[in-house]
A = this chain, B = another copy of it.
Amino acid sequence: MTTPNHAPRPMLTEAQLSRLPSEHPLRTAGTDRSPMIRAMLGDRPEHPPVWFMRQAGRSLPEYRAAREGTNMLESCLTPDLASEITLQPVRRHHVDAAIFFSDIVVPLKVAGLDVDILPGKGPVMGAPFNSMERIAELPEVPDSAFDPIREAVALTVEQLGSTPLIGFAGAPFTVAAYMAEGGSSRDHLGPRTMMYRDPEAWDALAGWVSRVSAQFLSAQIEAGASAVQLFDSWAGSVSERDYREHVMKYSAGVLSAVEPYGVPRIHFGTGTGELLVAMKEAGADVVGVDYRIDLDQAAERVGRDTPLQGNIDPALLDAGWGVLQKHTMDVLSKGKAAAAHIVNLGHGVPPGTDPAVLTRLVEFIHES
Protein backbone atom coordinates (compact mmCIF):
# COMPACT_ATOMS: atom_id res chain seq x y z
CA MET A 1 0.00 0.00 0.00
CA THR A 2 1.20 3.46 -0.83
CA THR A 3 1.32 5.77 2.14
CA PRO A 4 0.13 9.35 1.62
CA ASN A 5 3.77 10.40 1.75
CA HIS A 6 4.49 8.39 -1.38
CA ALA A 7 1.61 9.69 -3.46
CA PRO A 8 2.69 11.84 -6.39
CA ARG A 9 2.01 15.49 -5.71
CA PRO A 10 1.61 18.35 -8.09
CA MET A 11 4.68 20.46 -7.67
CA LEU A 12 3.56 23.88 -8.69
CA THR A 13 0.24 25.58 -9.11
CA GLU A 14 -0.70 27.06 -12.47
CA ALA A 15 -0.09 30.53 -11.04
CA GLN A 16 3.39 29.52 -9.92
CA LEU A 17 4.22 27.88 -13.23
CA SER A 18 3.21 31.01 -15.06
CA ARG A 19 5.92 32.88 -13.16
CA LEU A 20 8.61 30.64 -14.57
CA PRO A 21 9.85 30.92 -18.16
CA SER A 22 8.49 28.25 -20.52
CA GLU A 23 11.91 26.59 -20.79
CA HIS A 24 12.31 26.21 -17.00
CA PRO A 25 13.49 22.69 -16.13
CA LEU A 26 10.60 22.25 -13.74
CA ARG A 27 8.38 22.42 -16.84
CA THR A 28 10.59 20.80 -19.45
CA ALA A 29 13.02 18.39 -17.82
CA GLY A 30 10.66 17.44 -15.03
CA THR A 31 13.01 18.08 -12.14
CA ASP A 32 9.93 18.13 -9.95
CA ARG A 33 9.75 14.34 -10.30
CA SER A 34 13.40 13.93 -9.29
CA PRO A 35 14.10 12.19 -5.99
CA MET A 36 15.67 15.40 -4.64
CA ILE A 37 12.73 17.71 -5.24
CA ARG A 38 10.20 15.06 -4.21
CA ALA A 39 11.99 14.71 -0.86
CA MET A 40 12.07 18.47 -0.42
CA LEU A 41 8.31 18.44 -0.88
CA GLY A 42 7.89 15.88 1.89
CA ASP A 43 7.92 12.70 -0.15
CA ARG A 44 10.07 9.58 0.31
CA PRO A 45 11.39 8.65 -3.14
CA GLU A 46 12.76 5.19 -4.07
CA HIS A 47 16.22 6.06 -2.74
CA PRO A 48 17.35 8.76 -0.30
CA PRO A 49 18.48 11.76 -2.33
CA VAL A 50 21.87 13.20 -1.49
CA TRP A 51 23.99 16.26 -2.26
CA PHE A 52 26.92 17.76 -0.40
CA MET A 53 27.41 21.34 0.64
CA ARG A 54 30.58 22.63 -1.06
CA GLN A 55 30.57 19.57 -3.38
CA ALA A 56 31.74 21.94 -6.12
CA GLY A 57 35.09 22.96 -4.76
CA ARG A 58 38.63 22.30 -3.73
CA SER A 59 38.15 18.62 -2.91
CA LEU A 60 38.04 17.95 -6.68
CA PRO A 61 41.22 17.94 -8.79
CA GLU A 62 39.16 19.00 -11.83
CA TYR A 63 37.98 22.01 -9.83
CA ARG A 64 41.51 23.00 -8.92
CA ALA A 65 42.49 22.65 -12.57
CA ALA A 66 39.53 24.70 -13.82
CA ARG A 67 40.11 27.44 -11.25
CA GLU A 68 43.85 27.72 -11.83
CA GLY A 69 44.81 31.32 -12.42
CA THR A 70 41.30 32.68 -11.90
CA ASN A 71 40.37 34.28 -8.62
CA MET A 72 37.31 33.16 -6.72
CA LEU A 73 34.89 35.99 -7.46
CA GLU A 74 35.98 36.17 -11.08
CA SER A 75 35.26 32.43 -11.36
CA CYS A 76 31.79 32.90 -9.89
CA LEU A 77 31.03 35.63 -12.42
CA THR A 78 32.39 33.85 -15.50
CA PRO A 79 29.32 31.94 -16.71
CA ASP A 80 30.96 29.00 -18.49
CA LEU A 81 33.47 28.48 -15.66
CA ALA A 82 30.84 28.70 -12.90
CA SER A 83 28.68 26.29 -14.88
CA GLU A 84 31.51 23.81 -15.47
CA ILE A 85 32.44 23.83 -11.78
CA THR A 86 28.80 23.36 -10.78
CA LEU A 87 28.52 20.30 -13.05
CA GLN A 88 31.79 18.61 -12.00
CA PRO A 89 30.58 16.90 -8.81
CA VAL A 90 27.36 15.75 -10.49
CA ARG A 91 29.39 13.98 -13.17
CA ARG A 92 31.82 12.50 -10.71
CA HIS A 93 29.70 11.58 -7.69
CA HIS A 94 26.24 11.13 -9.25
CA VAL A 95 24.70 13.26 -6.54
CA ASP A 96 20.99 14.01 -6.85
CA ALA A 97 21.37 17.74 -7.23
CA ALA A 98 23.84 20.33 -8.38
CA ILE A 99 24.49 23.27 -6.10
CA PHE A 100 25.20 26.48 -7.95
CA PHE A 101 28.88 27.38 -7.60
CA SER A 102 28.98 30.79 -6.02
CA ASP A 103 29.85 32.61 -2.86
CA ILE A 104 27.83 34.53 -0.32
CA VAL A 105 29.58 37.79 -1.25
CA VAL A 106 28.87 37.48 -5.00
CA PRO A 107 25.85 39.82 -4.75
CA LEU A 108 28.15 42.42 -3.16
CA LYS A 109 30.53 42.16 -6.10
CA VAL A 110 27.58 42.35 -8.49
CA ALA A 111 26.48 45.50 -6.64
CA GLY A 112 29.87 47.02 -7.40
CA LEU A 113 31.25 46.98 -3.86
CA ASP A 114 34.96 46.71 -3.11
CA VAL A 115 35.07 43.05 -2.03
CA ASP A 116 37.43 40.16 -2.65
CA ILE A 117 38.00 36.64 -1.37
CA LEU A 118 41.55 35.93 -0.26
CA PRO A 119 42.79 32.33 -0.11
CA GLY A 120 42.88 31.13 3.49
CA LYS A 121 41.36 34.36 4.71
CA GLY A 122 37.87 34.55 3.23
CA PRO A 123 36.02 37.70 2.19
CA VAL A 124 37.61 41.11 2.73
CA MET A 125 35.94 44.44 2.07
CA GLY A 126 37.72 47.67 1.15
CA ALA A 127 36.17 49.37 4.18
CA PRO A 128 33.54 48.18 6.64
CA PHE A 129 29.89 49.24 6.44
CA ASN A 130 29.68 50.14 10.10
CA SER A 131 27.86 53.47 10.11
CA MET A 132 24.70 54.94 8.65
CA GLU A 133 26.81 57.18 6.42
CA ARG A 134 28.58 54.21 4.88
CA ILE A 135 25.41 52.16 4.62
CA ALA A 136 23.60 55.03 2.92
CA GLU A 137 26.14 54.67 0.09
CA LEU A 138 24.88 51.20 -0.79
CA PRO A 139 23.40 51.26 -4.29
CA GLU A 140 20.13 49.85 -5.47
CA VAL A 141 21.09 47.05 -7.83
CA PRO A 142 19.28 46.57 -11.15
CA ASP A 143 18.13 42.99 -11.82
CA SER A 144 20.17 43.07 -15.01
CA ALA A 145 23.36 43.18 -12.93
CA PHE A 146 22.69 39.52 -12.19
CA ASP A 147 22.81 38.54 -15.88
CA PRO A 148 26.13 36.65 -15.55
CA ILE A 149 24.42 34.55 -12.86
CA ARG A 150 21.42 33.91 -15.10
CA GLU A 151 23.71 32.91 -17.92
CA ALA A 152 25.70 30.49 -15.74
CA VAL A 153 22.52 28.92 -14.40
CA ALA A 154 21.00 28.57 -17.88
CA LEU A 155 24.16 26.91 -19.20
CA THR A 156 24.09 24.54 -16.25
CA VAL A 157 20.48 23.41 -16.26
CA GLU A 158 20.70 22.81 -20.01
CA GLN A 159 23.12 20.00 -19.22
CA LEU A 160 21.53 18.74 -16.02
CA GLY A 161 18.34 17.37 -17.55
CA SER A 162 16.09 16.05 -14.79
CA THR A 163 18.75 16.58 -12.10
CA PRO A 164 17.75 19.72 -10.24
CA LEU A 165 20.00 22.69 -9.66
CA ILE A 166 19.85 24.21 -6.19
CA GLY A 167 20.34 27.95 -6.10
CA PHE A 168 22.38 29.52 -3.36
CA ALA A 169 22.61 32.73 -1.35
CA GLY A 170 24.08 33.82 1.96
CA ALA A 171 21.58 34.92 4.56
CA PRO A 172 21.45 38.60 5.52
CA PHE A 173 23.00 38.20 8.99
CA THR A 174 26.06 36.40 7.67
CA VAL A 175 26.59 38.70 4.70
CA ALA A 176 25.93 41.81 6.77
CA ALA A 177 28.38 40.49 9.39
CA TYR A 178 31.17 40.50 6.81
CA MET A 179 30.13 43.96 5.68
CA ALA A 180 29.93 45.39 9.20
CA GLU A 181 33.35 44.01 10.13
CA GLY A 182 34.96 44.48 6.73
CA GLY A 183 35.89 40.79 6.74
CA SER A 184 35.85 37.62 8.82
CA SER A 185 35.76 37.60 12.60
CA ARG A 186 35.24 34.99 15.21
CA ASP A 187 32.65 36.58 17.45
CA HIS A 188 30.83 38.86 15.02
CA LEU A 189 30.83 41.65 17.56
CA GLY A 190 30.47 44.25 14.80
CA PRO A 191 26.98 43.30 13.65
CA ARG A 192 25.87 42.17 17.09
CA THR A 193 26.83 45.49 18.65
CA MET A 194 25.30 47.44 15.76
CA MET A 195 21.89 45.80 16.32
CA TYR A 196 21.77 47.41 19.74
CA ARG A 197 23.83 50.57 19.40
CA ASP A 198 22.37 51.65 16.11
CA PRO A 199 19.33 49.55 15.24
CA GLU A 200 18.46 51.86 12.33
CA ALA A 201 21.83 51.34 10.71
CA TRP A 202 21.54 47.58 11.28
CA ASP A 203 18.07 47.63 9.73
CA ALA A 204 19.34 49.57 6.73
CA LEU A 205 22.29 47.21 6.24
CA ALA A 206 20.47 43.92 6.78
CA GLY A 207 17.52 45.21 4.75
CA TRP A 208 19.80 46.04 1.83
CA VAL A 209 21.40 42.59 1.96
CA SER A 210 17.96 41.02 2.19
CA ARG A 211 16.92 42.75 -1.04
CA VAL A 212 20.05 41.84 -3.04
CA SER A 213 19.94 38.26 -1.74
CA ALA A 214 16.36 38.02 -2.93
CA GLN A 215 17.42 39.37 -6.35
CA PHE A 216 20.31 36.90 -6.44
CA LEU A 217 18.06 33.91 -5.67
CA SER A 218 15.29 35.11 -7.98
CA ALA A 219 17.77 35.36 -10.84
CA GLN A 220 18.86 31.79 -10.21
CA ILE A 221 15.29 30.48 -10.04
CA GLU A 222 14.17 32.35 -13.13
CA ALA A 223 17.13 30.97 -15.06
CA GLY A 224 16.38 27.42 -14.04
CA ALA A 225 17.14 26.57 -10.37
CA SER A 226 14.58 24.12 -9.02
CA ALA A 227 15.23 24.80 -5.33
CA VAL A 228 17.23 27.27 -3.24
CA GLN A 229 19.33 27.20 -0.10
CA LEU A 230 19.69 30.22 2.14
CA PHE A 231 22.95 29.77 4.00
CA ASP A 232 23.46 31.52 7.35
CA SER A 233 27.00 30.52 8.31
CA TRP A 234 27.17 32.73 11.38
CA ALA A 235 23.61 32.54 12.71
CA GLY A 236 24.88 30.29 15.49
CA SER A 237 26.65 33.26 17.03
CA VAL A 238 23.42 34.90 18.15
CA SER A 239 21.00 33.93 20.88
CA GLU A 240 17.51 32.83 19.91
CA ARG A 241 16.15 36.10 21.26
CA ASP A 242 18.51 38.18 19.15
CA TYR A 243 17.79 35.96 16.18
CA ARG A 244 14.07 36.54 16.50
CA GLU A 245 14.41 40.26 17.19
CA HIS A 246 17.22 41.33 14.89
CA VAL A 247 17.92 38.63 12.30
CA MET A 248 14.92 36.54 11.39
CA LYS A 249 12.91 39.15 9.51
CA TYR A 250 15.68 39.78 6.99
CA SER A 251 15.98 36.07 6.21
CA ALA A 252 12.20 35.85 6.09
CA GLY A 253 12.32 38.72 3.60
CA VAL A 254 14.50 36.71 1.23
CA LEU A 255 12.50 33.52 1.66
CA SER A 256 9.16 35.22 1.16
CA ALA A 257 10.43 37.10 -1.90
CA VAL A 258 11.05 33.79 -3.67
CA GLU A 259 7.98 32.02 -2.28
CA PRO A 260 5.79 32.89 -5.30
CA TYR A 261 8.01 30.76 -7.55
CA GLY A 262 7.01 27.70 -5.54
CA VAL A 263 10.43 26.07 -5.53
CA PRO A 264 11.49 24.46 -2.22
CA ARG A 265 13.51 26.67 0.09
CA ILE A 266 16.20 25.15 2.33
CA HIS A 267 17.41 27.15 5.32
CA PHE A 268 20.74 26.16 6.87
CA GLY A 269 23.27 27.45 9.37
CA THR A 270 25.90 25.99 11.68
CA GLY A 271 25.67 25.87 15.46
CA THR A 272 21.96 26.51 15.10
CA GLY A 273 20.50 23.66 17.17
CA GLU A 274 18.68 26.17 19.35
CA LEU A 275 17.52 28.25 16.37
CA LEU A 276 15.98 25.56 14.17
CA VAL A 277 12.39 26.42 15.03
CA ALA A 278 12.92 30.13 14.31
CA MET A 279 14.75 29.28 11.08
CA LYS A 280 11.79 27.18 9.99
CA GLU A 281 9.37 29.94 10.93
CA ALA A 282 11.38 32.33 8.76
CA GLY A 283 9.85 30.54 5.79
CA ALA A 284 11.78 27.33 5.18
CA ASP A 285 10.33 24.34 3.41
CA VAL A 286 13.35 22.24 4.38
CA VAL A 287 15.41 22.78 7.52
CA GLY A 288 19.13 22.06 7.25
CA VAL A 289 20.71 20.58 10.38
CA ASP A 290 24.41 20.74 11.20
CA TYR A 291 26.29 17.76 12.66
CA ARG A 292 25.93 18.86 16.29
CA ILE A 293 22.49 17.40 16.95
CA ASP A 294 20.81 14.23 15.73
CA LEU A 295 18.07 14.38 13.12
CA ASP A 296 15.52 12.78 15.43
CA GLN A 297 16.17 15.56 17.98
CA ALA A 298 15.88 18.12 15.18
CA ALA A 299 12.59 16.57 14.02
CA GLU A 300 11.27 16.82 17.55
CA ARG A 301 12.17 20.48 17.66
CA VAL A 302 10.85 21.63 14.29
CA GLY A 303 7.97 19.17 13.96
CA ARG A 304 7.99 15.82 12.24
CA ASP A 305 6.19 17.13 9.15
CA THR A 306 9.18 19.26 8.13
CA PRO A 307 11.64 17.72 5.67
CA LEU A 308 15.13 17.80 7.12
CA GLN A 309 18.48 18.05 5.38
CA GLY A 310 21.70 16.71 6.86
CA ASN A 311 23.77 15.77 8.74
CA ILE A 312 26.75 13.48 8.19
CA ASP A 313 29.68 14.86 10.19
CA PRO A 314 32.30 16.13 7.70
CA ALA A 315 34.98 15.18 10.25
CA LEU A 316 34.14 11.53 9.58
CA LEU A 317 34.77 11.68 5.82
CA ASP A 318 38.42 11.08 6.63
CA ALA A 319 37.93 8.66 9.52
CA GLY A 320 37.91 5.42 7.52
CA TRP A 321 35.11 3.77 5.55
CA GLY A 322 33.87 1.55 8.38
CA VAL A 323 33.39 4.49 10.74
CA LEU A 324 31.79 6.62 8.01
CA GLN A 325 29.45 3.84 6.94
CA LYS A 326 28.27 3.18 10.48
CA HIS A 327 27.75 6.89 11.09
CA THR A 328 25.86 7.29 7.78
CA MET A 329 23.55 4.40 8.68
CA ASP A 330 22.84 6.13 11.98
CA VAL A 331 22.07 9.41 10.18
CA LEU A 332 19.75 7.63 7.72
CA SER A 333 18.00 5.85 10.55
CA LYS A 334 17.50 9.02 12.62
CA GLY A 335 16.36 10.86 9.48
CA LYS A 336 13.33 8.57 9.41
CA ALA A 337 11.94 10.63 12.30
CA ALA A 338 11.21 13.41 9.79
CA ALA A 339 8.59 13.46 7.03
CA ALA A 340 11.37 13.38 4.47
CA HIS A 341 15.15 13.40 4.45
CA ILE A 342 17.57 15.06 2.08
CA VAL A 343 20.92 13.47 2.89
CA ASN A 344 23.81 15.91 3.14
CA LEU A 345 26.74 16.72 5.35
CA GLY A 346 26.36 18.70 8.56
CA HIS A 347 28.63 21.36 7.01
CA GLY A 348 30.64 21.79 3.80
CA VAL A 349 33.01 19.25 2.24
CA PRO A 350 36.48 19.90 3.76
CA PRO A 351 38.94 20.90 1.02
CA GLY A 352 41.25 17.97 1.79
CA THR A 353 38.56 15.32 1.36
CA ASP A 354 39.37 12.34 -0.85
CA PRO A 355 36.73 12.59 -3.60
CA ALA A 356 36.60 8.78 -3.90
CA VAL A 357 35.09 8.68 -0.42
CA LEU A 358 32.28 11.01 -1.52
CA THR A 359 31.55 8.94 -4.62
CA ARG A 360 31.41 5.78 -2.53
CA LEU A 361 29.21 7.50 0.02
CA VAL A 362 26.68 8.52 -2.62
CA GLU A 363 26.59 4.94 -3.88
CA PHE A 364 26.10 3.62 -0.37
CA ILE A 365 23.29 6.07 0.35
CA HIS A 366 21.56 5.27 -2.93
CA GLU A 367 21.62 1.59 -2.09
CA SER A 368 20.23 2.14 1.41
A residues lining the B interface (CB < 8 Å): 187-189, 192-193, 196-197, 236-241, 271, 273-274, 291-294, 313-316, 318-320, 323, 347, 350
Instruction: Please tell me if the beta carbons of B293 and A197 are within 8 angstroms of each other in the complex.
Output: no
Known: A239-B293, A273-B274, A274-B273. A314 touches B187 (CB 8 A): yes
Known: A187-B347, A189-B315, A273-B274. A196 touches B323 (CB 8 A): yes
Residues of chain B within 8 A of A196, CB atoms compared:
315-316, 319-320, 323
A and B contact pairs by CB, cutoff 8 A, 14 listed: A187-B350, A189-B315, A192-B313, A192-B315, A193-B318, A196-B319, A196-B320, A197-B323, A237-B292, A238-B292, A239-B291, A239-B293, A239-B294, A240-B292
Residues of chain B within 8 A of A236, CB atoms compared:
271
A129 to B268, CA, bound (A): 33
A291 to B241, CA, bound (A): 11
- Return A30 CB to nearest CB of chain B, in Å: 37
Nearest chain B residue, comparing its CB with the CB of A327: B196
Residues of chain B within 8 A of A240, CB atoms compared:
292-293
- Return A180 CB to nearest CB of chain B, in Å: 11
Nearest chain B residue, comparing its CB with the CB of A348: B187
Other A-B pairs beyond A187-B315, A193-B319, 15, CB < 8 Å: A187-B347, A187-B350, A189-B318, A193-B318, A196-B319, A237-B292, A238-B292, A239-B293, A239-B294, A240-B292, A241-B294, A271-B271, A273-B274, A274-B274, A274-B292
Most buried by B among A196, A271, A313: A196
- Return A317 CB to nearest CB of chain B, in Å: 8
Instruction: Please tell me if the beta carbons of A239 and B350 are within 8 angstroms of each other in the complex.
Output: no
The 3 closest A-B pairs by CB, nearest first: A192-B315, A196-B319, A197-B319
- Return A267 CB to nearest CB of chain B, in Å: 19
Residues of chain B within 8 A of A314, CB atoms compared:
187, 189
Residues of chain B within 8 A of A237, CB atoms compared:
292
Residues of chain B within 8 A of A319, CB atoms compared:
193, 196-197
Nearest chain B residue, comparing its CB with the CB of A239: B292
Nearest chain B residue, comparing its CB with the CB of A197: B319
- Return A10 CB to nearest CB of chain B, in Å: 38
Residues of chain B within 8 A of A241, CB atoms compared:
294
A320 to B197, CA, bound (A): 6
- Return A172 CB to nearest CB of chain B, in Å: 17
Residues of chain B within 8 A of A350, CB atoms compared:
187, 189
Nearest chain B residue, comparing its CB with the CB of A233: B186
Nearest chain B residue, comparing its CB with the CB of A346: B239
A273 to B240, CA, bound (A): 11
A113 to B294, CA, bound (A): 38
A318 to B241, CA, bound (A): 19
Most buried by B among A192, A236, A315: A315
- Return A273 CB to nearest CB of chain B, in Å: 6
A239 to B290, CA, bound (A): 10
A350 to B193, CA, bound (A): 12
A165 to B173, CA, bound (A): 39
- Return A288 CB to nearest CB of chain B, in Å: 16
A274 to B292, CA, bound (A): 9
A347 to B318, CA, bound (A): 32
Instruction: Please tell me if the beta carbons of A193 and B273 are within 8 angstroms of each other in the complex.
Output: no
Residues of chain B within 8 A of A192, CB atoms compared:
313, 315
Nearest chain B residue, comparing its CB with the CB of A317: B193
A198 to B243, CA, bound (A): 38
